[in-house]
Structure 1
Amino acid sequence: MRRPVVAIHQPNLLPRLSTLAKLAAADIWIVLDDVQFTARDYQHRARLAPPHTPDKPQWLTIPVHRPYGRATRITEVRIADHTIAERRLTLLSAQHYGRSPGWPDVRAIIAATLAELNISKWIAPVAEASSLALLTAVGWTGTIRHSSTIPASRQRNQRLVDLSAAVGAGTYLCGTGGARYLDPLAFHDANISVQFTQPPAGTHCRHAAMLSSIHHLADLGACGVAAGLGMTQRPRSAR
Structure 2
Amino acid sequence: MNRTTCAIHQPNLFPRLPTLAKLYAADVWVVLDDVQFTARDYQQRAWLEDPHTMQGEWLSLSVHRPHGRRTLINQVRLADPSTSARRVRRMTRHYYGRCRRWPHLQPLIEHTATGIETHHDLAHIAERSTRLLLTHMGWQGTVVRSSSLPARPERSQRLADLTAAVGAHAYLCGPGGARYLDETPFAEQGITVRHAYIPALAALRERRQTTGLWWLAVADWKDLHGLLWRRWVGI
TM-score, L = length of structure 1: 0.91
Asked if structure 1 preserves the Cα contact closer than 8 Å seen for 2:26 and 2:172, the reply is yes
Could you tell me how far apart the structure 2 residues matched to 1:111 and 1:24 are?
Answer: 22
Please list the CA deviations of residues 138-159 of structure 1 after superposition, one character each: whole Å capped at 9, or x if unmatched.
0000001110000101111100
What's the CA shift for 1:226?
4.0
Bigger shift: 200-209 or 35-44? 200-209
Amino acid of the residue matched to residue 13 of structure 2? L
Report the alpha carbon displacement of residue 105 of structure 1 after superposing the two structures with TM: 2.0
1:136 equivalenced with 2:145 (yes/no): no
Contact 2:6 2:168 in 1 (8 A): yes
Aligned twin of 1:125 = 124
Residue ranges of structure 1 left out of the alignment (5+ in a row): 232-239
1:237 aligns with: none
- State the alpha-carbon separation in 2 of the partners of residues 64 and 226 from structure 1: 34
Deviation for aligned residue 1:223: 4.3
Task: Give the secondary structure class of the aligned counterpart of 2:99.
Answer: coil
Provide the residue aligned with 2:144 in structure 1: 145
- State the percentage of identical aligned residues: 47
Equivalenced residue count is 230
Secondary structure at 2:207's aligned position in 1?
helix
Q: Supply the distance in 2 between the matched residues of 1:219 and 1:168 (Cα, whole angstroms).
A: 37
Q: Note the 1:59-98 alignment, pairs <5 A.
A: 59-98=58-97
- 4+ residue stretches of structure 1 with deviation over 2 A? 200-207, 221-231
The CA distance in 2 between the partners of 1:105 and 1:171, in whole Å, is: 33
- Residue 113 (str. 1) matches residue 142 (str. 2): no
CA contact under 8 A between 1:201 and 1:228: conserved in structure 2?
Answer: no
The CA RMSD measured in Å over matched residues stands at: 1.6
1:170 aligns with 169
Quote how far apart the aligned CAs of 1:203 are: 6.7
Report the AA paired with residue 94 of structure 2.
Q
Contact 2:11 2:126 in 1 (8 A): yes
- CA spacing shift, 1:228–1:43, aligned 2, 3 Å: same
Q: Deviations over 1:178-228 (max 9, x none)?
A: 111101122112111111111257675433111000000110144443444
Q: SS at the partner of 1:209?
A: coil
Structure 2 stretches lacking a partner, 5+ long: 231-235
